[in-house]
Structure 1
Amino acid sequence: MASETRQLFIGGESVPALEGRTTDDLNPFTGEVHAVVAAGSVEDVTRAVDAAQEAFAGWAATPPSARRKILLKAADLLETRTAEVVALMAAEVGGVGGWAGFNVVLASNILREAAAAVSQPVGEVLTTDTPGQLSLALREPLGVVAAFAPWNAPVILSTRAVAAPLAAGNTVVLKPSEDAPIAAGLFIAGVLHEAGLPAGVLNVVTNAPEDAAEVAKALITDSRVRAVNFTGSTEVGRIVGTLAAQHLKPAVLELGGKNSLLVLDDADLDHSVDAATFGSFHNAGQICMSVDRVLVHESVAEEFTAKLVAKVGSLPHGDPADPGTVIGPVINQRSADRVANLVAEAVENGARVRTGNDGTATVLDNVSPSMRIFREEIFGPAVVVVPVADDDEAVAIANDTEHGLTAGIMTEDSQRGFGLARRIQTGIVHVGNQTVDDEPQAPFGGVKASGYGRFGGRWGVEAFSATRWVTIASEHGHFPF
């Protein structure tokens, strides 16, 4: 039996879908219904945009100090609800306690960073050749922003989807993932509303899985929506980006990754094993930044792999609500089957399973570029280890992918690591660390098929602002005719 029923959030109120439809929100560990949520339609998208459009002028004119106060209060409120987030993420997305707690910490700091951004300069004085003229570049909010939040880091990524747009003075319609309608949408809307966000400034439309494409299209193509931000798979990101471009709307897309961790011959192997294990299997590998390929110097490859196998094989799996669990379930059976198929196809073609391959954390070696697991994003609890002859081969393999999100370089020589970092084609590189890292003040995003645009700090505010040129003449100019 469902533990709760949740409605859409439009105009500051919880309201049922116009058609009265609902959809089940499942617990990925038990398979039981965690909640029943409203299944919004195209008509619900329209009324959410109606509310956002109506609220825009007032929110854009709200003094920066008032916007800052709301965002800071929301950050504090979010921290007081840590226990609620831990329970929610365990039940809705299979997230273990440590991952849920990190979601709270980072999301709270995203709100605080957004609060700091509201008082950034909103323009600059330009030089001009026109006598007696003041020439200005002014930054202004765009209007209604369409935001899409995924299920895998639901509190972090729903907060990131709305924080910078709100700080810049926009209003937002948020469509959360069908796999996390509460944690990736309704929850953060409730926190911000409790913190004093005016009605209509943030609206949430949940939907049934079969309606996802239609609802998303209606939101992106509404003429009053002026920008789009999407975090999710590259496959869906291509559709979202294409649709936004067809309607001449800017988009920020943070998509998938095929991330490499380079372990150089001078690396501390025990530390590198800890880093690789965390980077590969945190949240069961369901992070866009997860390590998919460990590229380790051949002189230390077998020693490193043996140590990695021993550590990974000891990781506790099971109920995400159990504080001792390190690796919980993947989000659904479809995802589990996809990862299992990637592993099975690799084994059929000569790869060797060193540990796992039964739904648990899996380490493979003897992989080759012809295997799908070598080239496709895994997004699950598996990683491949690839010996390399030297730094040049490691860089070549790291770059041999359509993706370009993040990379890590394990070395005790930071100068050597920095030199390699400059050669790796990703939006993010960590020298002396693994691939999974995030800070709200940093420019977060990828290159190539990992997307474009940046969240974080001033880059996030700029992404959801328009720059206008305004001049003011202090004297009458001369016209040639």
Structure 2
Amino acid sequence: MPIARELFIGGKDVPAASGRTEADVSPHTGEVYATVAAAGPEDVTRAVDAADAAFPQWAALAPFARRAIFLKAADLLDARGEQVADIMAHEAGGTRPWAHFNVMLAANILREAAAAITAPRGEVLSAQEEGALGLAIREPFGVVAAFAPWNAPVILGVRAVAAPLAAGNTVVVKPSEDAPIACGLLVADVLREAGLPDGVLNVVTNAREDAARIAEALIADPRVRAVNFTGSTEVGRIIGEHAARHLKPAVLELGGKNAVIVLDDADVDYAVDAACFSVFMNAGQICMSGDRILVHESLAEEFTAKFTAKAAALPAGDPSHPRTVIGPLVGERAAQRVAGLVRDAVAKGAKVLTGGGEPDGAVHPATVLTEVPQDAELYHTEAFGPLCVIQTFADDDTAVKLANDTDNGLTCGIITENATHGLTVARRVRTGIVHVNDQSVADEPHAPFGGVKASGYGRFGGRWGIEAFSSTRWVTIATQQAHYPF
């Protein structure tokens, strides 16, 4: 019997005003795992009503009281590892190690947000008037609209709401249609159990065909004062346009076309392990996944042979099996999209080193290509699947040129045993994040996270997240009466 979930508005589980529901289908089995309420614009208004009403009291709540809620929520989430593994396997095909990593990092995001609540905020300014005191004070916006994706659902569901709430805002979150429980309702469950007041966090799920109008209605509501979105560049452009039209600040964390650069002084075996993790963790469905492995020509033969063999041996299939590395993609259509990228590249001259062929339902085999030409769609398009391209380079200049040959700029890994060499290359790569002697997939809750170019703007993480979801007010205090010219 499928799980049935409703909207979460004003601290209560409520059906959509229309009574409609949407099926939440397992990509591995094709069966309906759950049904969720399918909201309409009128439900969006109800959710914003609740968030707007809850804002004054939440913003005024003592910081230590707010911090206690976040710390309790982190502990509660830590205890739900097995439940999250079950939900993620059914909703998005997530493997068990990936699910438990989601729990760990999401709980730490909550702890970092708790620390930020009581951290110093604002500045004391110099004033030109004698005896005056100037203050720069950070204050919450009000209601924040948040959009959470399916691929790292618990991490990104928590990240979508943690900093806005910690800054004193209230939130209406629209989770992905592909994982509405893991990246929305589960997060609300944990925070509700931790004592979050009614209306501070509201969750609006929807039918897939209604996604655009729900997003538009949410951003257009004049009581919504800021927006955050994590997802594809294509949809992020639309969200950014809506926010700009209504003069609302936005944080957009979008797609990547990330490179892992293996310099000539790298340890080959370490490079193989690092690159393999970067490409194939969560079947490549991470915005930070390594689409392109750039290898110095002196190491190319050895690296390619070892990397291809390792990729070919990765266990694939049932996401609930503890040894599975390559689980199903989010759906059969996603797997067919990846297969289409491979077919197009091969038709234009690329060579398949391992993998390729037709997917088994939503499971696409780990695939490694080489000699992909610039007119292939894969050359510029984010793979977002268990697929990568190996390219070689002769010198650092060429490596940097290849790494920067993309509209995106999210993250990069540089494998080297020489930190000075790695840092020199890192400073020339145009990405928001770069890791020297590590691969491209890394996330820490206290670090500034975000990209440049078509990978978006704004930053999540630590004090940067608080700054993104609060505004600066200038307040002055005159300690003596001023003299005026008239």
Structures share fold, TM-score greater than 0.5? yes
Report how far residue 189 of structure 1 moved: 0.4
Local SS of the residue matching 2:333: helix
Report how far residue 122 of structure 1 moved: 2.8
The 5 Å alignment of 1:326-405 reads 326-358=325-357, 359-405=364-410
Q: Quick one: which of 376, 394, 410 aligns to 2:415? A: 410
Report how far residue 474 of structure 1 moved: 2.1
Q: Distance in 1 between matches of 2:240 and 2:56?
A: 27
Report how far residue 132 of structure 1 moved: 2.6
RMSD: 0.7
Q: Distance in 1 between matches of 2:416 and 2:353?
A: 24
Report how far residue 3 of structure 1 moved: 2.2
Match of 2:149 in 1: 150
Local SS of the residue matching 2:269: helix
Residues 341-388 of structure 1: CA deviation (Å, up to 9, x unaligned):
110000001101010013200000111222211111000010000011
Q: Distance in 2 between matches of 1:436 and 1:448?
A: 19
State yes or no: 1:24 paired with 2:29: no
Match of 2:206 in 1: 207
- Between Structure 1 and Structure 2, how many residues are aligned? 480
Q: Distance in 2 between matches of 1:193 and 1:35?
A: 21
Q: Quick one: which of 414, 424, 432 aligns to 1:427? A: 432
CA contact (8 A) 1:122 1:140 kept: no
Q: Distance in 2 between matches of 1:122 and 1:306?
A: 52
State yes or no: 1:464 paired with 2:469: yes
Match of 2:115 in 1: 116
Residues 248-292 of structure 1: CA deviation (Å, up to 9, x unaligned):
000000000000000111111111111111100000000000000
Percent identity of paired positions between Structure 1 and Structure 2:
66
Local SS of the residue matching 2:409: coil
State yes or no: 1:298 paired with 2:303: no
Q: Distance in 1 between matches of 2:136 and 2:263?
A: 47
Report how far residue 30 of structure 1 moved: 0.6
Question: TM-score when scaled to structure 1?
Answer: 0.99
Local SS of the residue matching 1:428: coil
Q: Distance in 2 between matches of 1:302 and 1:315?
A: 21
Q: Distance in 2 between matches of 1:408 and 1:417?
A: 10
Report how far residue 391 of structure 1 moved: 1.1
Report how far residue 123 of structure 1 moved: 2.0
Q: Distance in 2 between matches of 1:303 and 1:124?
A: 55
Q: Distance in 2 between matches of 1:120 and 1:250?
A: 23
Letter of the structure 1 residue corresponding to residue 464 of structure 2 = W
Match of 1:33 in 2: 32
Letter of the structure 2 residue corresponding to residue 261 of structure 1 = V
The 5 Å alignment of 1:229-378 reads 229-358=228-357, 359-378=364-383
CA contact (8 A) 1:351 1:365 kept: yes
Letter of the structure 2 residue corresponding to residue 23 of structure 1 = E
Local SS of the residue matching 1:441: coil
Report how far residue 125 of structure 1 moved: 1.4
Match of 2:125 in 1: 126
Letter of the structure 2 residue corresponding to residue 62 of structure 1 = L
Local SS of the residue matching 2:424: helix
Comparing 2-11 with 120-129, greater Cα deviation is found at 120-129
CA contact (8 A) 1:229 1:251 kept: yes
Report how far residue 134 of structure 1 moved: 1.7
Residues 145-179 of structure 1: CA deviation (Å, up to 9, x unaligned):
00000000000001000001111100000000000
After the TM superposition, which segments of 4 or more aligned residues of structure 1 sit over 3 Å from their partners?
none
Match of 2:60 in 1: 61
Gaps of 5+ in 1: none
Report how far residue 322 of structure 1 moved: 1.0
Residues 32-69 of structure 1: CA deviation (Å, up to 9, x unaligned):
10001000010000000000000000000000000000
Report how far residue 13 of structure 1 moved: 0.6
Q: Distance in 2 between matches of 1:205 and 1:126?
A: 42
Report how far residue 7 of structure 1 moved: 0.3
Gaps of 5+ in 2: 358-363
Report how far residue 135 of structure 1 moved: 1.3
Report how far residue 136 of structure 1 moved: 1.1
Comparing 462-471 with 127-136, greater Cα deviation is found at 127-136
Match of 2:51 in 1: 52
Comparing 328-337 with 276-285, greater Cα deviation is found at 328-337
Comparing 404-413 with 334-343, greater Cα deviation is found at 334-343
Q: Distance in 1 between matches of 2:219 and 2:334?
A: 27
Report how far residue 236 of structure 1 moved: 0.4
Q: Distance in 2 between matches of 1:294 and 1:140?
A: 44
Residues 430-449 of structure 1: CA deviation (Å, up to 9, x unaligned):
00000000000000000000
